[in-house]
């Protein structure tokens, strides 16, 4: 810390605004109602979904309006999510609003300070099920405070430096999307290039057996269990070619429950309930391990029928997901997506002869390895960039680097 900096309590420098607990039933008003999903970058001004409240609702409920320059700070679950309000906004109790006295504390500087304090905020939070950091705790936070001119200079420096890092991360994320899109297109082309010796049929004819997994209480809470592992939807992602040991969570089940609930090498695993960006409903991967592994009721074990190559079928399922067949067979009940397995397996597809299935699968495996390596490189670059971003913010807001003489680079016309 710079010896000239003061260490002060946040409550001395800012007002804190706690939202009301109740959520309006009608969200069609002009004042934006924002959520964590609306955070994208440093500033926030609108609800991406168009949700909002009226002035009458604000007065009647009553609701707390966060004025411009309020710093939103997450106070529940995951700490460190921050944004600065550009216009008047309303939100829920996921956030606390911090409105600095801008004659002493810059909102732009505080934005970065709170990002740097994410781990400390998380450690201070309490709660058995959902952690929460109170208004009083926020007001007691001690922050290192340089002079206002230096605060603004630090914020300007970080705006420029993190902006470049964020742009690089965005480029890498777009690269991943492009790699996935191109690879999915190559998969679809490979499994739908119908020749004269391809035969049309239903997806179900390639399935010897489709069996649901175990349904029951969380095994971690049951004392009479063995140490057989169980795979759930959360333990794999859409792009995996196989279930890896690192993606299987150690869980135990009673021996009497094991019968008929173990994956065998070459089985396919189909996610049929739940869903999410990482492993959406309809995701299929192939189990290539050797250890006995159970599977939960949220996934189904698919045993390929004789005359069908499991690797080819995995790619065929991926094509069906990309083509919308899964979506047509998916229903949503009480917020959970569920695949109508019978309807899905009734999809019409074309099958090449077995030897050609195997050759197509080998070619796609080779392409997948190249794509996976490129995606892994991009993800590593993103992770390193995020680490550099966090280190840069920490060094700047704690005075470990001196940016008082920093000037924005001159733009060449």
**pLDDT at position 62:** 84
Q: In the chain, which residues have pLDDT < 70? A: 1-3, 128-129, 213-229, 232-260, 275-279, 292, 334-335, 411-413
Beta strands in 105-226 (DSSP E): 142-145, 199-202, 207-212
How far apart, in Å, are the Cα atoms of 46 and each of 21, 33, 34, 84, 378?
20, 8, 7, 12, 31
Q: Check residue 172 and give its pLDDT.
A: 97
Closest alpha carbon to 168 in 410, 406, 386 = 386
Q: How high is the pLDDT of residue 272? A: 83
Intra-chain end-to-end CA distance of the chain, in Å: 39
pLDDT at 41: 86
pLDDT at 19: 86
Q: Is 376 exposed, middle or buried (0-12, 13-18, 19+ CB in 10 A)?
A: exposed
Q: What pLDDT is attached to residue 213?
A: 66
Determine the length of the chain: 413
196-215 confidence digits (pLDDT tens): 999 999 999 999 888 776 55
CB 345 within 8 A of CB 207: yes
Model pLDDT, residue 413: 56
pLDDT tens digit string along 331-350? 877 667 888 888 999 999 99
Q: What is the pLDDT of residue 305?
A: 94
């Amino acid at each position: 810390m710079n010896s000239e900096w003061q260490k002060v309590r946040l409550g001395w420098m800012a007002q804190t605004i706690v939202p009301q607990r109740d959520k309006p039933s009608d969200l069609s008003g002009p004042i934006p109602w924002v959520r964590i999903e609306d955070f994208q970058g440093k500033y926030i001004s609108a609800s991406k979904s168009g949700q909002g409240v009226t002035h009458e609702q604000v007065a009647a409920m009553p609701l707390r309006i966060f004025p411009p320059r309020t710093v939103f700070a997450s106070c529940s679950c995951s700490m460190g999510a921050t944004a600065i309000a550009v216009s008047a906004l309303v939100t829920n109790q996921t956030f606390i609003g911090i409105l600095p006295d801008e004659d002493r504390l810059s909102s732009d500087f505080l934005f970065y300070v709170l990002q740097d304090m994410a781990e400390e905020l998380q450690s201070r939070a309490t709660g058995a099920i959902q952690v929460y950091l109170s208004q009083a705790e926020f007001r007691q936070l001690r922050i290192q405070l340089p002079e206002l001119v230096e605060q603004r200079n630090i914020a300007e420096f970080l705006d420029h430096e993190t902006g470049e890092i964020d742009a690089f991360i965005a480029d890498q994320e777009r690269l991943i999307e492009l790699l996935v899109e191109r690879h999915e297109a190559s998969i679809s082309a490979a499994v739908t290039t119908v020749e004269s010796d391809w035969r049309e049929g239903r997806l179900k004819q390639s399935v010897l057996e489709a069996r649901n997994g175990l349904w029951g209480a969380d095994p971690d809470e049951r004392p009479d269990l063995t140490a057989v592992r169980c795979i759930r939807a959360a333990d794999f992602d859409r792009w995996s070619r196989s279930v890896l040991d690192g993606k299987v969570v150690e869980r135990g089940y009673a021996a009497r429950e094991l019968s008929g609930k173990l994956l065998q090498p070459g089985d396919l695993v189909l996610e049929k309930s739940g869903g999410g960006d990482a492993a959406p409903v309809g995701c299929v991967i192939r189990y290539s391990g050797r250890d006995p592994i159970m599977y939960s009721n949220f996934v189904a074990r698919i045993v390929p029928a004789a005359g069908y190559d499991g690797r080819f079928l995995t790619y065929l399922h991926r094509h069906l997901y990309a083509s919308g067949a899964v979506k047509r067979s998916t229903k949503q009940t009480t917020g959970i997506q569920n695949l109508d397995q019978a309807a899905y397996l009734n999809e019409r597809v074309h099958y090449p002869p077995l030897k050609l299935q195997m050759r197509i699968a080998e070619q796609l495996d080779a392409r997948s390895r190249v794509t996976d390596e490129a995606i892994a490189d991009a993800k590593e670059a993103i992770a390193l960039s995020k680490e550099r971003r966090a280190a840069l913010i920490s060094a700047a807001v704690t005075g470990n680097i001196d940016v008082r003489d920093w000037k924005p680079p001159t733009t060449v016309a």
